[in-house]
Structure 1
Amino acid sequence: MDFWILVIRIIFLSQTTIGILGNVSLMFYYLVLYYRECTLKPTDLILLHLMTANSMTIISLGVPNTMAAFGLMQFFNDLECRILIYIQTVGRSVSIGTTCLLSVFQAMTVRPRELCCKDYKVKAENFIGCSISLLWGFYMLIHFVLFVYPFIKLNSKNMTGKRDFGYCSTTGSDEISDSFYAAMVVCPEVFFSVLITWSSSSMIVILYRHKKRVQHIRSSHGYNRTSPESRATQKILVLVSTFLAFYSLSLILRGCIALLYNHSWWLVNITPFTSLCFPSFGPFVLMNPCSIIYRLTLIWIRKKNNLIFFKVHE
């Protein structure tokens, strides 16, 4: 058992460290882009909020579980525990919603001719901004209701026993709060997962058809490198597979945590591990070091040329 405790410590510490470094690095990169260009592409805006939601999940889930793995048990009271869970659930829900938004937006850009609105590219940034604001507002409100509800029903006889999360514990819930959670949180997450699968599948089909159409042109010019369609398809498959695998497993385990009150040691430790996998490793799936260095270099060159231009004309 001591060996598995050591393994859990190393896993949580590595997950938390890698996740914070990856998400903060990408957040810093997009903030630099915004500072230099005073605007962000719709995809960059989505990814910035995705990294923010992932960071919230890692800090509120990874850090406490790492501390608990190193022996600091039950160091939060009931209120502090509920605040941590509130931050975790908001971050998780917004992460799923923004991932869905990213997948749908990419599917829209791949096939612009099929859209009814011809000037959708002009309106995309406003549409994305409104959608992200609605996601944050909706989930912050829903989870706040779930946060406040136990304090309203604190003296109710329908409230069940405590739920242990390793680093803290909370009083249980009743059938009303469980049903509300399933209707307002679980169902949208399942819907978003289905929508991600559909939009990603449609992108892969479109890219495959496009690759077949231009294959004879590339072969006639001796083009033997991996096509852009293949690279894009591989990236989409990796991202979607990572998302669906870890979040589906996490959803099942979180359901077990919600339904069972006598949690085993394995269930308590594996559930946060699966919940942290996509927030921790997702940035490295999205990260393209060559592209990041190239864009930052272009910004630096553009700024330098502007300074030279103004100095010459002074």
Structure 2
Amino acid sequence: MAVYKCILYQAGIGISANTFLFLSHIPSILLDRQPKPTDLTTCHLALVHIAFLTTVLFLLSPDLFESLNVWNDFKCKALFYINRVMKGLSIFTTCLMSIIQAITMSPHTSQLAQFKYKCTHFIFYLFFFIWLVCLSFSTTTLFHTVATSNVTQTNLMALIQYCSFSPIMPGIMGLMFTLTTSRDVFLVGVMLLSSVYMVILLLRHQRRSQHLHSTSLSPRSSPEKRATQTILLLVSFFVVMYWVDFIISSSSLILWTYDSVIVGVQCVVVNVYATVSPLVLISSDKRILNFLHNMSWKTFWF
């Protein structure tokens, strides 16, 4: 019970932080004629995490679950489907952020430099593509998620108090597992490659700075370095949390069993990235920090 209370508090903090992050980027997107791709992806990631954590609240809080005045079977299918879609969008968007940051900091002599001014034009097409992929990959959830009270089968895998998974044909389960795992491994691989590329660029820049006997970066390169370090931190954190979740969920599917402790631990692991990522992005965004600093001074004086 204590674990589930912790998860609910975790989800509440994550929703609040992501909402603040989302709202803080809206003015720059609406007022700029050509919004930065980093602002668009940050907003998209925050919105995805808000939806993801909201489904967690409804699934784990009996009062919120019962407040939805529709059939339990429909609620289970809808909430788990949205949860799975948002989870897929999270990994896609994080991967996209790492690629965009790698392109942004690439030198003018690099082949990636030609994409610097084209990112904004293609970003909405990429969003449409990743939404389409995630919506398609999660369709099996609609068929195999059921309300526990509506089914008399004894071989259900209980997920939460009200919802369970019905048995899946081994062939279909193997196919979906292979496709989903291949997709995620590919995206994680792209994240790691872009991260290695950014680390190499940072080391080159540091070496060049030392060669020029300068301990400080230029005003233009300093924000890029902070943004790159933030993305590297997020990618590293995401990869660790992803593989822990992958091991737990794969073991549960193979053994076809989920007890309350496993569900609780997996929920904490899955929710950590959605909760921590907005805090990391907020703490590294100079515009937001300046805004909070100004607000604190105004509150102090008035």
Give the TM interval when normalised to the shorter protein.
0.7 to 0.9
- Of 135, 155, 160, the residue aligned with 1:161 is 155
In 2: Cα distance, 1:180 partner to 1:69 partner: 36
Partner of 1:14: 9
> Which is further off, 90-99 or 162-171?
162-171
The residue matched to 1:262 in structure 2 has which SS? coil
- Where does the alignment leave 5 or more consecutive residues of structure 2 unmatched? 146-152, 294-302
Q: 1:95 to 1:117 in 2, by over 3 A?
A: closer
Q: CA deviation at 1:106?
A: 1.0
In 1: Cα distance, 2:179 partner to 2:227 partner: 33
Partner of 1:87: 82
Partner of 1:312: none
Partner of 2:296: none
> Which is further off, 278-287 or 113-122?
113-122
Q: 1:135 to 1:295 in 2, by over 3 A?
A: farther
Q: Aligned-residue CA RMSD in angstroms? A: 3.2
Q: CA deviation at 1:189?
A: 0.8
The residue correspondences of 1:222-241 to structure 2 (distance < 5 A) are 223=216, 228=222, 231=226, 234-241=229-236
Partner of 1:202: 197
Q: CA deviation at 1:120?
A: 2.3
- Of 126, 132, 144, the residue aligned with 1:131 is 126
Partner of 1:292: 288
Q: CA deviation at 1:150?
A: 4.3
Q: 1:161 to 1:9 in 2, by over 3 A?
A: closer
Partner of 2:254: 259
Q: 1:55 to 1:291 in 2, by over 3 A?
A: same
Alpha-carbon displacement from aligned partner over 1:151-197 (angstroms, at most 9, x marks no partner): 9xxxxxxx992121123323222213312322332211111111111
Indicate if the aligned counterparts of 2:55 and 2:80 stay in contact, CA closer than 8 A.
Answer: yes
Indicate if the aligned counterparts of 1:62 and 1:272 stay in contact, CA closer than 8 A.
Answer: no
The residue matched to 1:238 in structure 2 has which SS? helix
Indicate if the aligned counterparts of 2:101 and 2:228 stay in contact, CA closer than 8 A.
Answer: no
- Of 117, 121, 143, the residue aligned with 1:122 is 117
In 1: Cα distance, 2:142 partner to 2:31 partner: 42
Q: CA deviation at 1:77?
A: 2.6
In 2: Cα distance, 1:14 partner to 1:172 partner: 32
The residue correspondences of 1:211-222 to structure 2 (distance < 5 A) are 211-219=206-214
Q: CA deviation at 1:44?
A: 0.9
In 1: Cα distance, 2:4 partner to 2:143 partner: 34
Which amino acid is 2:159 matched to? Answer: F
1:44 is the counterpart of 2:43: no
In 1: Cα distance, 2:75 partner to 2:64 partner: 20
Identity of aligned residues (%): 26
The residue matched to 1:113 in structure 2 has which SS? coil
Q: 1:111 to 1:160 in 2, by over 3 A?
A: farther
- Where does the alignment leave 5 or more consecutive residues of structure 1 unmatched? 152-158, 298-314
Which amino acid is 1:291 matched to? Answer: R
The residue matched to 1:242 in structure 2 has which SS? helix
Q: CA deviation at 1:270?
A: 0.7
Q: 1:160 to 1:197 in 2, by over 3 A?
A: farther
Alpha-carbon displacement from aligned partner over 1:250-279 (angstroms, at most 9, x marks no partner): 121122232333322211211111111101
Indicate if the aligned counterparts of 2:144 and 2:168 stay in contact, CA closer than 8 A.
Answer: yes
TM-score, normalised to structure 2's length?
0.80
Q: CA deviation at 1:231?
A: 4.4
In 1: Cα distance, 2:190 partner to 2:100 partner: 12
Partner of 2:272: 277
Bigger Rg over Cα: 1
Indicate if the aligned counterparts of 2:18 and 2:49 stay in contact, CA closer than 8 A.
Answer: yes
The residue matched to 1:201 in structure 2 has which SS? helix
